[in-house]
Chain A
Amino acid sequence: MKKDLMELLCCPVCKGELELDATREEDGEVVEGTLYCEDCDETYAVDDGIPDLLPPEAR
């Protein structure tokens, strides 16, 4: 995912802001990392460049 995609994303549960922690980047794209919602205290994965924003109970 490109970092500017963050402007369009929110927590799927509370619609609050997500905090990106990129652990691997390639060609300006985030390939691996996490998206954290502070309000829900929930972490979502960025895996192979795809943010996986299914709520925990739907995974």
Chain B
Amino acid sequence: MTDSVYPPSEDSYLLRDAAVGEVRRDDTVLEVGTGSGFVAKALADEARTVVATDISNEAVRAARERGVSAVRTDLVAALDARFDLVIFNPPYLPDDDTTPDDAMADALGGGETGREVAERFLDTVPRVLAPDGRILLVTSSLSGVEAFEEREGYEAERVASERYFFEEVVVLRMRPTP
């Protein structure tokens, strides 16, 4: 793995555990922004199909080396299917003046608010979600959890959370409101 791919970290383990608890045997699963492929790989034997995307060339290569079916695309742009479960651990650190312009910065940074990539995801994901499809989204107190819980068009529920020394990471289960 190169140093431009986000390595499995505390939030990866939190999402993995939440996703393993959420997934059903006959689900078709999509992981967006898979990074190293660590979470997608953990779901491979738990679901009917698992597909992963990432915008980073290094990331999709790392994921494929783990045996994950990987597609290089922006969020869900090149997918045309109805997924039962879509999971995403988005970049959520608010950018600041010191943010470098490189691949690792893309893996961490979520624009000025820290929510921009996740917001774009929520805008586009309904197109590829099955009628009863669920979303697991990783959020952080650093960029705001409530903004997602109160977001128009979705209902959200906290399914996992963990406090690290400078932030609380929360996994939300979300569904578009009918």
- Distance between B66 CB and nearest chain A CB, rounded to angstroms: 13
- Distance between A53 CB and nearest chain B CB, rounded to angstroms: 4
In the bound complex, do residue A5 and residue B51 qualify as a contact, i.e. CB atoms below 8 Å apart? yes
Instruction: Mark each residue of chain A from 1 to 28: 1 if its CB lies under 8 Å from any CB of chain B, else 0.
Output: 1100101111110010000000000000
- Bound together, the chains give a CA A57 to CA B96 distance in angstroms of 26
Task: Assess whether A50 is interfacial by the CB under 8 Å rule.
Answer: yes
Q: Using known A-B contacts A48-B61, A58-B74, determine if residue A5 contacts B80 with beta carbons closer than 8 Å.
A: no
Number of interface residues of B (CB under 8 A): 18
* A-side contacts of B73, CB under 8 Å: 12, 53-54
In the bound complex, do residue A9 and residue B64 qualify as a contact, i.e. CB atoms below 8 Å apart? no
* A-side contacts of B49, CB under 8 Å: 8
- Bound together, the chains give a CA A53 to CA B78 distance in angstroms of 6
* B-side contacts of A55, CB under 8 Å: 74, 77
In the bound complex, do residue A8 and residue B80 qualify as a contact, i.e. CB atoms below 8 Å apart? yes
- Distance between B51 CB and nearest chain A CB, rounded to angstroms: 6
Q: Which residue on chain A has the smallest CB distance to residue B81? A: A8
* B-side contacts of A58, CB under 8 Å: 74
Task: Assess whether B69 is interfacial by the CB under 8 Å rule.
Answer: yes
Q: Using known A-B contacts A5-B51, A48-B61, A48-B64, determine if residue A53 contacts B80 with beta carbons closer than 8 Å.
A: no
- Bound together, the chains give a CA A51 to CA B52 distance in angstroms of 11
Q: Using known A-B contacts A51-B72, A53-B73, determine if residue A9 contacts B79 with beta carbons closer than 8 Å.
A: yes
Task: Assess whether B55 is interfacial by the CB under 8 Å rule.
Answer: yes
In the bound complex, do residue A51 and residue B80 qualify as a contact, i.e. CB atoms below 8 Å apart? no
Task: Assess whether B70 is interfacial by the CB under 8 Å rule.
Answer: yes
The residue among B74, B80, B81 with the most chain A CB atoms within 10 A of its own CB is B80
Binding site for A on B (CB under 8 A): 49, 51, 55, 57, 60-61, 64, 69-74, 77-81
**11 CB < 8 A contacts A-B:** A1-B69, A5-B71, A8-B51, A9-B71, A48-B61, A50-B60, A51-B72, A51-B78, A53-B71, A53-B73, A53-B78
